[in-house]
Amino acid sequence: MSGATEEKFRVEIISDECKGCLRCVNACPREVIVPTDQVNMMGVVYVEYADEGCIGCGACFYACPEPGAITVYEKKK
């Protein structure tokens, strides 16, 4: 993923904290959060970050009803 390291923002989704509601998927203006076909420890089909394209808008974070499932990181300048 050499492209991704150039990016200003990065999203991390803790799969075990995702309840699969897809709110983040619907909220992301860049469509860079996507469903997987994997099941987590709660038995939920979770979502993941597509590894590039995040603009750091936070829409996914505020759409997500779980406290810590989504973290948006910003590279220091």
Partner 1 sequence: MSVNETVKFGRSKGFFETFDRRPGPIKKNMHYCPGCGHGILHKLIAEALIDLGMRDKMIVISPVGCAVFAYYYFDCGGISVPHGRAPAVATGMIRANPDSFVISYQGDGDLGAIGLNNFLQAANRGENMTVCFVNNGIYGMTSGQMAPTTLVGQKTATSPYGRSATNEGYPLKVAEMVAALESPIYVERVALTSTKNIRAARTALRKGLTYMREKRGFSLIEFLAACPVNLKKNASEADDWIENNMIPYFPLGRFKDVASDRSPIERPEPVFDKEKVVEALFPADSGLDWRKKEAKLRKELRIKCAGFGGQGVLSLGLMIAEMGQSRDINVSWLPSYGPEMRGGTANCSVVLSNNEIGSPIVKETNLLITMNQPSMDKFLPDLLPKGLLLYDRTNIERPDTDRRTYSVEAGRIAIELGNPKCANSAIMGAFAACLRGIEQVNYEEAFEEAIRKTFAKKANLVNLNIEAFRKGKESVKIENVN
Where does this chain bind partner 1 (CB under 8 A)?
A: 9-10, 14, 16-17, 19-23, 26-27, 29, 42, 44, 56-59, 61-76
CA distances from 57 to 11, 43, 63 (A): 11, 29, 11
Residue 15 in contact with ligand SF4, rule: CB under 6 A: no
Residue 10 in contact with ligand SF4, rule: CB under 6 A: no
Nearer to partner 1, 50 or 66 (CB): 66
Residue 56 in contact with ligand SF4, rule: CB under 6 A: yes
Q: Are 72 and 9 in contact (CB under 8 A)?
A: yes
Which residue of 7, 51, 52, 66 would you call a contact of ligand SF4, by CB under 6 A? 66
Q: How many CB atoms within 10 Å of residue 10?
A: 17
Q: How far is CA 65 from the centre of its chain?
A: 13
